[in-house]
Structure 1
Amino acid sequence: MAIYQVGNKWYVDLYVDGRRRRKAIGSRKEAENAQTAIKADVLRGEFKFKRESKVQFEAFAQNYLNHCKTNKKKSWQRDENSIQFLEVHFGGMLLSKITPLDIEDYKTKRINGEIKLKPKPNASRSRTDWKVQPATINRELACLKHMFSLAKKWKMADENPVKEVQFFQERQIEMKILSQEEIGRLLDYTSPRLKPIVIVALNTGLRKGEILHLRWSDIDFDNKFIFLKETKSNRFRKIPMSGLVLETLRALKRDKEFVFTNPRTSRPLSDLQTGFKAACRKAAVGDLRFHDLRHTAATYMVTGGIDLVTVKDILGHATIQMTMRYAHPTPENKRHAVEVLANLFDKNGGKQPGVHSEKLAQDSPDPSSPN
């Protein structure tokens, strides 16, 4: 076994059982460390030649997406969008050659708006600003991390380099809860295509991905239920439909597999951003995210007196602690609380229940007596 330098790279050169292997290592120190580690593995009988995967990133990305679609991973459309940007940077690279440094480089270029997609054919206008929020990049890194986890499982990669990369710190986004007046305005200004989606969101608390991937086969019109399969637990979630949701869905055409589809592709809708932001702007409801419709539905259920266990089941929360986020006091609830106390006094002639006026008189200090 030997180490030597060729150009700027150091190599470890070794023979085991008559087979030769050369491996390029960064610096001389790293090559010496690798040589020591290999010798130790050989002495323990644990050294194995690793076949370097020749799988390119693009090819694996397609396999990954096919796997997600087949196994009904809820976020496959979001992953598909993430992979478009990942391919711009990692395209042409072997999966086995991607390092943490390459991923750090991706982070830097992505947040500076240097990673751009080619304009779509027949696009009315081309995008000029490609800068995105840290949260968007974190979702892309999470997708890449899951890709490498599967690559290891399928013996296409030895390591997951994303584990060595620190994600961006995200700004905590405050939940916005719509008032009833704001809900009315939002529905008034929402386009006919988007309005049924908003109605379903506000009246069920479903996530955007769950709504957009609803199939007609998931809806039981006779018994007024929506059935959702939880990917992780493999269980079904059963969400009751109100009369408004029932009426809204019955009014839609049922000529496609999915309830809400892109008329040009017959695939589930993926981009609600433009139409939703336009409706929010016209309705003057502030910087509202689609996910805030779920927060709004959850809050109204809790403040309406629905027990947390039922709300948890409808929302599909893993723990009751997640549902507890919506059990926050509102000005109306706090006023109602003190009115309940006032009613107790009124029913007892102005006296606190269980306490006699004589007792209060005995316990009260004499204002004329010295302290």
Structure 2
Amino acid sequence: MGVYKVKDKYYIDFYTDGRRIRKPVGSKRDAENALAAVKADILRGEYRFKGRVRIRFDDFAEEYLEYLKVNKKSWHRNKASLKSLIPHFKEMLLSKITPAHIEEYKRKRLYEDKVQPSTINRDLACLRHMFNIAKKLKDYDGENPVKDVDFFQERQYVMKILDKEESDRLINEAKDYLKPMIIVALNTGMRRGELFNLRWNDVDFAEHYIFVKKTKSGFMRKIPMNDLVAETLKNIKRENEFVFCNPKTKDRLACIQRPFKAACRKAAVPDLRFHDLRHTSATYMVTGGVDLATVSQILGHSDIKMTMKYAHPTPENKRNAVNVLASVFGPGEKKEVATIRSQEPKKKEVSPLLSNN
């Protein structure tokens, strides 16, 4: 049992009948008095569990966000959705939100706010998860209203690989604070979330390594830095512990969708997602002759089968492959071909994908 504060609101936290209950109360004194009254009722056996069906959306949103910070690595994406959800559902009780209300939210976001269907789907996913957590925490005992709401059908995504000219244009058109992130993404294959979470103490300039600690697989990995990445990172002004920061708030970057899309538009590379920079990086490493095992480790794939999609057979590569066989089995002088053995891959220098020229 106890009293705690979230932003400007005080909550009481207690257990009864094996269930945890948290209620928002006004001031700290009110919360202390309310908790004392609850304790007395519980001791006398007079407390009756009423549930949390009276909790408001904005009150639970604060509690939900605190839950995410502890239990979900990608909680910043949900935080972005909450910024849109809270103004719409704000003072509504969780128990009063119906599929019809959610359909109204979809309509407003699509036609008034001019938001992409994919973004609305992320908001709906956040809302669905929010109700599930409310039930898990015994803050809500009704049905999840999102289960009766249809998500928008999204366009089938096609992987796009940038060529050198396109990547140069993209970097040139990007805002100054976004340029370094794009360069590092192209030259390391790091995911967007990994870049957002990158801290200065994760960068070893002496040994030229980046240590990626918060990964999708849950396992830390280290990525060698080429000279371009090292130089790019050294030129970033250190605002706080995170490498990539919001130029206005100086906080850790959490969303770059709009500035990235604007840069893509100006660079004439439509339908490009930030994740395509990772695909581009992987493709250039594979076509540049880097073995799949090494590429897989750099990308942090848990299964090398995931890396196989970047091995695109080309007519030229196929012809070279059979020419190797002809050099061995054809007439004339035989060329010695090295037998492949299982061994520790040798370190090899890989030229940066992008240059400063």
TM over 0.5: yes
1:111-167 Cα distance to aligned partner (Å, 9 max, x none): 333xxxxxxxxxxxxxxxx12222111111111122122212211112433234332
Residues 50 and 235 of structure 1, relative CA distance in 2, 3 Å threshold: farther
Residues 275 and 320 of structure 1, relative CA distance in 2, 3 Å threshold: same
Letter of the 1:99 partner, please give it.
Answer: T
Assess if the C-alpha contact under 8 Å between 2:68 and 2:75 holds in 1: yes
Residues 222 and 342 of structure 1, relative CA distance in 2, 3 Å threshold: same
Letter of the 2:117 partner, please give it.
Answer: P
Assess if the C-alpha contact under 8 Å between 2:217 and 2:301 holds in 1: no
**Alpha-carbon distance in structure 2 between the residues aligned to 1:208 and 1:163:** 29
Assess if the C-alpha contact under 8 Å between 2:51 and 2:139 holds in 1: no
Residues 327 and 266 of structure 1, relative CA distance in 2, 3 Å threshold: same
Task: Give 1:338 shift.
Answer: 0.6
- Which gives a bigger RCO, structure 1 or 2 (Cα 8 Å, sep 6+)? 2
**Alpha-carbon distance in structure 2 between the residues aligned to 1:108 and 1:281:** 26
**Alpha-carbon distance in structure 2 between the residues aligned to 1:272 and 1:49:** 45
Assess if the C-alpha contact under 8 Å between 1:74 and 1:209 holds in 2: no
2:242 pairs, out of 258, 269, 274, with 258
Task: Give 1:350 shift.
Answer: 6.2
SS of 1:157's equivalent in the other structure is coil
Task: Give 1:50 shift.
Answer: 6.0
**Alpha-carbon distance in structure 1 between the residues aligned to 2:118 and 2:109:** 12
**Alpha-carbon distance in structure 2 between the residues aligned to 1:172 and 1:51:** 43
- Equivalent residue number for residue 12 of structure 2: none
- Equivalent residue number for residue 240 of structure 1: 224
Matched, 1:227 2:226: no
- Equivalent residue number for residue 125 of structure 2: 142
Letter of the 1:157 partner, please give it.
Answer: Y
**Unaligned 5+ runs, structure 1:** 1-47, 114-129, 354-371
User: Greater Rg, structure 1 or structure 2?
Assistant: 1
Assess if the C-alpha contact under 8 Å between 1:225 and 1:240 holds in 2: yes
**Alpha-carbon distance in structure 2 between the residues aligned to 1:189 and 1:349:** 53
**Alpha-carbon distance in structure 2 between the residues aligned to 1:165 and 1:339:** 54
Assess if the C-alpha contact under 8 Å between 2:296 and 2:307 holds in 1: yes
Letter of the 1:132 partner, please give it.
Answer: V
Residues 192 and 160 of structure 1, relative CA distance in 2, 3 Å threshold: same
1:153 pairs, out of 129, 132, 136, with 136
**Alpha-carbon distance in structure 2 between the residues aligned to 1:87 and 1:171:** 27
Task: Give 1:54 shift.
Answer: 2.0
Residues 180 and 64 of structure 1, relative CA distance in 2, 3 Å threshold: same
Matched, 1:83 2:85: no
Task: Give 1:322 shift.
Answer: 3.4
SS of 1:112's equivalent in the other structure is helix
- Equivalent residue number for residue 124 of structure 1: none
SS of 2:212's equivalent in the other structure is strand
Letter of the 1:69 partner, please give it.
Answer: K
Aligned-pair Cα RMSD in Å? 2.9
Assess if the C-alpha contact under 8 Å between 1:230 and 1:237 holds in 2: no
- 1:304-343 correspondence runs (5 A): 304-329=288-313, 333-342=314-323
Residues 319 and 86 of structure 1, relative CA distance in 2, 3 Å threshold: farther
- Equivalent residue number for residue 53 of structure 2: 53
- Equivalent residue number for residue 264 of structure 2: 280
Task: Give 1:206 shift.
Answer: 1.4
SS of 1:239's equivalent in the other structure is strand
Task: Give 1:344 shift.
Answer: 4.2
**Alpha-carbon distance in structure 2 between the residues aligned to 1:350 and 1:279:** 56
Matched, 1:298 2:282: yes
TM-score, normalised to structure 1's length? 0.67
**Alpha-carbon distance in structure 1 between the residues aligned to 2:264 and 2:254:** 18
**Alpha-carbon distance in structure 2 between the residues aligned to 1:66 and 1:300:** 41
**Alpha-carbon distance in structure 1 between the residues aligned to 2:238 and 2:202:** 12
- Equivalent residue number for residue 195 of structure 2: 211
Task: Give 1:349 shift.
Answer: 5.8
- Equivalent residue number for residue 353 of structure 2: none
1:211-246 Cα distance to aligned partner (Å, 9 max, x none): 123211222223332223346764323322222212
Task: Give 1:282 shift.
Answer: 4.2
**Alpha-carbon distance in structure 2 between the residues aligned to 1:346 and 1:320:** 30
- 1:170-185 correspondence runs (5 A): 170-185=154-169
**Unaligned 5+ runs, structure 2:** 1-47, 335-357
Deviates more, 1:54-63 or 1:308-317: 308-317
Deviates more, 1:91-100 or 1:133-142: 91-100
Q: How many residues of Structure 1 are paired with residues of Structure 2 in the alignment?
A: 285
Deviates more, 1:287-296 or 1:220-229: 220-229
- 1:54-203 correspondence runs (5 A): 54-71=54-71, 73-113=72-112, 130-158=113-141, 159-203=143-187
Residues 272 and 349 of structure 1, relative CA distance in 2, 3 Å threshold: same
**Alpha-carbon distance in structure 1 between the residues aligned to 2:311 and 2:315:** 12
Task: Give 1:191 shift.
Answer: 4.1
Deviates more, 1:266-275 or 1:174-183: 266-275
Letter of the 1:133 partner, please give it.
Answer: Q
